[in-house]
Amino acid sequence: MDSIAILDFGSQTAQLIARRVREARVYSELFPWDAPPERVLALRPKGFILSGGPASVYDPGAPQVPAYVLESGLPVLGICYGMQALTHALGGKVAAAHKREYGHARLQILVDNPLLPPDTGQVWMSHGDRIETPPPGFIPLARTDNAPIAALGDLAAARFGVQFHPEVRHTPAGAEIIRRFVVDICAASPDWTPESIIEQSVARVREQVGEQRVLSAVSGGVDSSVATALVHRAVGEQLTAVFVDNGLMRAGEPLTVVETFRQHLGVQLRAVNAVEEFMEALAGVTDPEEKRRIIGEKFIRIFETQAREVGMPPFLVQGTIYPDVVESSAPDRAQAARIKTHHNVGGLPEEMHFELVEPLRYLFKDEVRAVGERLGLPPQIVWRQPFPGPGLAVRCLGEVTPERLAKLRAADRIVTEELSAAGLLRMTGDRRPGTDAPPPSSVSRPPPGTAQSFAVLLPVRSVGVMGDERTYQETVAIRAVTTDDFMTADWARLPHDLLARISTRIVNEVPGVNRVVYDITSKPPATIEWE
């Protein structure tokens, strides 16, 4: 399968470049700029993309374009800092701009070229340096009012640079620019489809597992469900799935998960009631990282117990996806800062008797959903809103107790009911049960709506008045976001009357809550979850 190698110079949007390449149905992988050459070249890429980054090329120790990239003779696209680093490496001149350029800019095409559509128009800039002199063989392709060379290229060598960011949605023509580079210029075949993902994943699992038995951790969410379905397709009866009711799920979910798995997947399923164990382990704990550590270790120990009962399979399936890896700062992406530990990435205990099987580790959420559809999973699983691995423990800020969890479940049920009634709870995509719309032939764009919405119980008490009496009770925060990829997100502009209904119902129906607030913070700077 053809592929593109993306070298990350520290950009906050490097993962988006990978997504845009994959949206063009070409496989891509993201590597640190200083990754060993043999590791990158093992991908056998058809071309290279150099990401942006915070450095200046004239800074001591600034990242440089690796020699093997230039020696390969393959097409190269530099984005922002990547363009400056490419220019610097090939003998051009980079200097500080007289005026920094951040935000929207209007691009003027200077020369017809294979990279930029004639009607590119608006682009998104974020830079303090600019190109003063192109390298030998390069010509300016476009400009803006502030950047005389906003794009350049060596058409004969198929090397290009753009000062703006085509990977962000603020550049409307960005997806087409990236498609032109990877498909037209690099001549990469657009065959990265759900079918090819399934085929490759099944082959890798069979190679890793062989004839041995496998245990799968399932939660009912799309990630663990698709991972389990993929492994089941690969190894069949060698797989046993385990669902652990940890007392941290939403109202009615444990029963729904068990029924759905047994009816739709045909997988051997063991259901374990471990509510008391988790509640005892979390008693008195308030730090979110400690909660995640405790939950991650408790899960593993329970799975070890289950494994012994079924003959101690050496492999454990988990639904780890790429955003989990990025936010947990996995060792293979040294550029990323740790945001928080995911129980299925960075929260696992050091001593573990399983080798992990993670068939979704480098897939984005929309790719996971497309694979789930191709595997025939029901819409209520494929389009279930994301739910954190530690469950309600990280939405119940402060100490986790059965009483506080009951409050949170009741409030969360009201949020779900009201958003669903308003048609704003995205669960089944842009199709509804019973329609004849065909599944997508490639990774599909998510439909409009709230991509994730939930209630958070805060350890904050405030004074209120109910029935002419003073109250001093806890606060519920409502979180609802829209997003394509869950790497960035914006708060949903819910109608005021809807928020009013939610607030009224929560205060009236949930004992111990007398105040409701709405979170209007985007990601970044916040994460989607509060802990």
Residues classed as catalytic? 80, 165, 167
Helix axes 365-374, 222-235, angle to 10 degrees: 50
Q: What are phi and psi of 83, to 5 degrees?
A: -65, -40
Distance of alpha carbon 98 from the chain centroid: 37
In terms of C-beta density within 10 A (0-12 exposed, 13-18 middle, 19 or more buried), how is residue 522 classed?
middle
Q: Are 147 and 83 in contact (CB under 8 A)?
A: no
Instruction: Quote the radius of gyration of the chain (alpha carbons, Å).
Output: 25
Q: Which helix (H) or strand (E) holds 258?
A: helix 253-264
Tokens (6 digits) for 212: 């041995």
Closest CA to 328 of 348, 345, 306, 305: 345
| 271 Cβ contact partners less than 8 Å away, ≥ 6 residues apart | 243, 245, 254, 258
Query: What are the angstrom distances between the C-alpha of 150 and each of 55, 89, 195?
Result: 18, 18, 38
Q: Give every CB contact of residue 485 below 8 A, 6+ residues apart in sequence.
A: 15, 16, 19, 323, 364, 365, 366
Residue carrying structure tokens 């004992």: 511
Do you find a cis peptide bond into 54, omega within 30 degrees of 0? no
**Cβ–Cβ under 8 Å, residues 146 and 157:** no
Could you tell me which of 98, 116, 100 has the C-alpha nearest to residue 108?
A: 116
CA–CA distances in Å: residue 145 to residues 10, 101, 172, 289, 378: 27, 10, 19, 47, 51
Residue 182: burial class (beta carbons within 10 Å; 0-12, 13-18, 19+): buried
CA dihedral 477, 481, 486, 488 (to 10 degrees): -100
- The string of DSSP codes covering 163-186 is SS-TTSTTSTTHHHHHHIIIIIIS
